[in-house]
Structure 1
Amino acid sequence: MKKNSTLLLVALMGILTLISCENDNKDSKLSAQKFEPVAVTKTNATKIYMHYMAWFESKESSGNNTWGYHWTMANKNPDNVDANGKREIAAHYYPTIGPYHSGDKDVLENHLLTMKYAGVDGILIDWYGTYDLNDYRMIKDNTDELVAMLDKVGLEYAIVYEDRFLTNIVDAGLAPNVVSAAKTDMAFLQSNYFNDSNYIKVNDKPLLLNFGPITMETPDEWTNVFANVNPKPTFLTLWNESSDAGANASGEYSWVYQNSTNLSNWYTNVFPNLGVAMGSAYPGFRDFYAEGGGGEAIGWTIEHNNGATLDETLALAKTAGVGHLQLITWNDFGEGTMIEPTLEFGYTYVEKVKAFAGVENTTNVFASITKLYNLRIEHKGKGEIQAKLDRIFGYFVSMQPEKAVELLNDFE
């Protein structure tokens, strides 16, 4: 009898082991499953791009255990946490996922999935070049991480070049002159970004925006900068600045300034005469510079008006018939132009962008994408759970949100 019981126990253990192995193999196969990104289906043919800041730094990422300037400015300390768990940051508004590091893959996953389901086609990355000075190298490194994640999510990107800081490069002895410094940056873009399959092309050439020009204000300088770039980019300057680049400029893009009258006038008087023109829409403007000790206040405010400002500027773009639209911005918290979900506005702004884009056949998944991020943080370092979260991410990028939400519900 004892012998039979032992044999029965051994057999039972074998069956359980076999079941366990089968489950392990099933989990392994699922976690290894390849998910190709699928584009969102939308009715609005306008190319919708999001201006993006890659300049945020956390204590964990900084290397010296300090928060980055764009969360602190001169007088705020995110280590101060209130009774609701809210950190003290240099902004009037607070990101739903809290302050973050721009190179964090979990953060990028959250941002890009949210944009994808809002109908955003690509990201316009605010970029300070390649030199290791101030936080420029950190922004470059964060941009590299962002570009890698864009490929996984299936979104395009282009660079918004900041020429205003080139004098800092020269003053630091890192380049003999501003044109030389800019040519070094262009060589990097040519070798690393411009030829990417998901780099934005306009008229079969890589799109390049410049926030200005501010430092290089003559056509000859820009001709020299682009001398070795082939093909020469479709180059857009800030509105009313294209004459600084002369024939190098393919057109202009509008920005945010004082009130919507400036935008409306640009659409009426300038937009029709440009070779390539990119419109803009924004939710508001309220800077934190004076309160944060980061310099003088800009001097004007555009109220958010519970979403009415974004509605108005999106409507202006629609009336003007823009082919390319820049949303200003995803996450410039210092100037209060953020479309990123916040505690104050929730998902209002991304919902409005989604409606403008005419996104079809998707349920409301923005809260579920936030839940995915929270689970990433809660279970950091837990390989089995992270593999399941990877699968959820895969379902999201491949436009299978129902399957993603079903797996998320297992965590209830």
Structure 2
Amino acid sequence: MKKFMTVFIAMIYMVLLTNCSNDGKKPDTLVTENLAPVAVEKTNKTKIYMHYMTWFETNESSPDHKWGYHWTMANKNPNTINANGQRDIASHYYPLIGPYHSGDKEVIENHLLLMKYAGIDGLLIDWYGTYNVNDYAMIKENTEQLIAMLDKVGLEYAIVYEDRFLGNIVQAGLAPTTVSAAKTDFSYLQSNYFKDANYIKINDKPLLLNFGPITLTTPAEWTSALSNLSPKPTFLTLWNESADAGVNASGEYAWVYKNSTYLTDFYKNNLPKLSVAMGSAYPGFNDYYAQGGGGTSIGWTIDHKNGATLDETLALSKTANVNYLQLITWNDFGEGTMFEPTKEFGYSYIEKVKAFAGVQKTGSVFAEISKLYNLRKEKKGDAAIQKKLDTVFGYFVSMQPEKAVQLLKEI
């Protein structure tokens, strides 16, 4: 036993000696830092959530090497690159990082860090369910890639359920009725999402939004669709649609439509009557459906007004003193409602959100977060650089932006 202890102590000594520099100090590799996510300090107590789309696909991510519909619609070809180095996409606006795959880890990292430093508390993820019809399976897979990183960044999430396409499930022979299809989707949510520690809860129940109702339009249908859930979710419909869900609805959320008078009416007439109400703010609306051959134009636009539209809708939510605010949207490029940084607007929209949220002690790091993304892509095959970039990510999520920026300068 004594011999064993002597050998053991000698081994420890050799490890320490090996890991010491000539001046006797331990190198940085021995220093363990706490890089767990830390919440952003902000003065505005409103819960700020971002509506998020996970439906984008590139020719590199697609099994058939084709760009997804939301970049192409019917007549755009992202393989065509113009004189400015931009791909031909179905949008009036161009993402600062270029068109992307929603399941790309580096893209998700970039989006979530930008949102975190803008003071956003969580994401409301547009979700089409569990069935393998059209691109729904891809959207579900991308959603789960996103969810996997949310807790690493320290952000919450909830689901916005699209019931409008339930008829497609029945037509494909995958479910006998639209209600049974919805019931299957909700059981999946309960088993896989609702129990997550970072799933948004309101009144101690998981938050579930519905973009409608559009297909299930009676209280009886919703009672049946939600019957297997326990506890019942805090269920919000679109503004003025809660009667379709009856007692199943806990409230409503505002959206974007024509002009701000609809928001003003919601705050004045709906909000006082609702148990739970969620306001909205948006930078503008300018759809690309007609130009992209994706259908007729919606028929109205909301001018971005160089940020004045966003200023106005944020101010309306502040006057209404809403507890919950949904930003519409991070990345619906087809409708031109994106907060995501673009070639046209830069970081201006998330800078406005940051000011509205009252974010403290972070400095201005949006450009550095983009630098992290660019280096991730440029040095993709360099394991040593990627390890350093992992540390940069850790500094950002643990609210040590100065260290993150300094390390970026050294790479």
Please classify the TM superposition score into its range, dividing by the shorter chain length: over 0.9
> How far apart, in 2, do the equivalents of 1:21 and 1:388 lie?
24
The 1:26/1:228 distance shift into structure 2, 3 A limit, reads farther
Please give the per-residue CA displacement for 1:128-168, whole angstroms capped at 9, x wherever unaligned. 00001110000000000100110100000000000000000
CA distance in 2, matches of 1:179, 1:225: 5
Distance in 1 (CA, whole Å) between partners of 2:292 and 2:27 is 53
Residues 111-126 of structure 1 mapped to structure 2, 5 A cutoff:
111-126=111-126
Question: 1:35: how far off?
Answer: 1.7
RMSD between aligned alpha carbons?
1.6
1:106 is aligned to 106
Letter in 2 for 1:171: Q
Letter in 2 for 1:254: A
> Which runs of 5 or more residues in structure 1 are unaligned?
1-16
Change (3 A) 1:275 1:405: same
Q: Which residue is equivalent to 1:11?
A: none
Q: CA deviation at 1:84?
A: 2.3
Partner of 1:221: 221
Residue number in structure 1 paired with 2:240: 240
Q: What is the CA–CA distance in structure 2 between the aligned matches of 1:390 and 1:253, rounded to whole Å?
A: 37
Q: Quote the residue 2:184 is aligned against.
A: 184
1:287 paired to 2:287: yes
- Is residue 96–residue 346 contact of structure 2 (8 Å, CA) maintained in 1? yes
Query: How many pairs does the alignment contain?
Result: 392
Q: 1:210: how far off?
A: 0.1
Question: Could you tell me which residue of structure 1 aligns to residue 335 of structure 2?
Answer: 335
Match of 2:139 in 1: 139
Residue equivalent to 1:13: none
Secondary structure (helix, strand or coil) at the match of 1:396 reads helix
Identical residues among aligned pairs (%):
72
Structure 1 Cα separation of the partners of residues 267 and 294 of structure 2: 33
Change (3 A) 1:245 1:18: closer
Per the TM alignment, residue 380 of structure 1 is displaced from its structure 2 partner at its CA by: 0.6
User: Which residue of 1 is the match for residue 324 of structure 2?
Assistant: 324
SS at match of 1:61: coil
**CA offsets 1:97-132 (integer angstroms, 9 cap, x no match):** 000000001000000000000000000000000001
Q: What are the within-5 Å matches in structure 2 for residues 161-200 of structure 1? A: 161-200=161-200
Partner of 2:59: 59
Whole-angstrom distance in 2 between the partners of 1:85 and 1:34:
41
Aligned to 2:355: 355
In the alignment, the residues of structure 2 paired with residue 210 and residue 370 of structure 1 have an alpha-carbon distance, to the nearest angstrom, of 33
* Counterpart code for 2:322: V
* Equivalent pair of 2:19/2:27 in contact (CA under 8 Å): no
TM-score by length of 1: 0.93
TM-score, normalised via structure 2 length? 0.93
Gapped runs of 5+ residues in structure 2?
1-17
The aligned amino acid for 2:79 is D
1:169-200 alpha-carbon deviations (Å, 9 max, x no partner) = 00000000001100110010000000100000
Q: Deviations along 1:317-349, whole A, 9 cap, x unmatched?
A: 000010000000000000000000000000000
Distance 2:146 2:125 in 1: 9
1:303 equivalenced with 2:298 (yes/no): no
What is the match of residue 383 of structure 2? 383
Q: Which runs of 4+ in 1 moved over 4 A?
A: 17-22, 25-30
Residue 394 of structure 1: how far off its partner (Å): 0.3
Partner of 1:251: 251
- Indicate yes or no: 2:208 matched with 1:201: no
C-alpha distance in structure 2 between counterparts of 1:19 and 1:29, whole Å? 9
Equivalent residue, structure 2, for 1:40: 40
Cα distance, 1:381 vs. partner? 2.0
Q: Which deviates further from its counterpart, 120-129 or 266-275?
A: 266-275
In structure 1, distance between residues paired with 2:257 and 2:117: 28
User: How big is each residue's C-alpha offset from its partner over 1:20-39, in whole Å with a ceiling of 9 and x where there is no partner?
Assistant: 999xx957557x86521000
Instruction: Give the partner amino acid of 2:383.
Output: G
Which residue identity is paired with 2:202? V
Distance in 2 (alpha carbons) for counterparts of 1:169 and 1:274 = 32
Q: Which deviates more, 209-218 or 78-87?
A: 78-87
Residue 271 (structure 1) aligns with: 271
CA distance, structure 1, for counterparts of residue 22 and residue 125 of structure 2: 46
Deviations 1:339-382 (A, max 9, x none): 00000000000000000000011110000000000000000121
Give CA deviations for 1:223-259 in whole Å, capped at 9, x if unaligned.
1111110000000000000000000000000000000
Q: Which residue of 2 aligns with 1:10?
A: none
Matched letter for residue 363 of structure 2: T
CA–CA distance in structure 2, aligned partners of residues 49 and 237 of structure 1: 16
Q: Aligned equivalents of 1:268 and 1:104: distance in 2?
A: 42
Partner of 2:160: 160
Mapped partners of 1:20, 1:310: distance in 2: 55
Determine the C-alpha separation between the residues in 1 that align with 2:88 and 2:294: 15
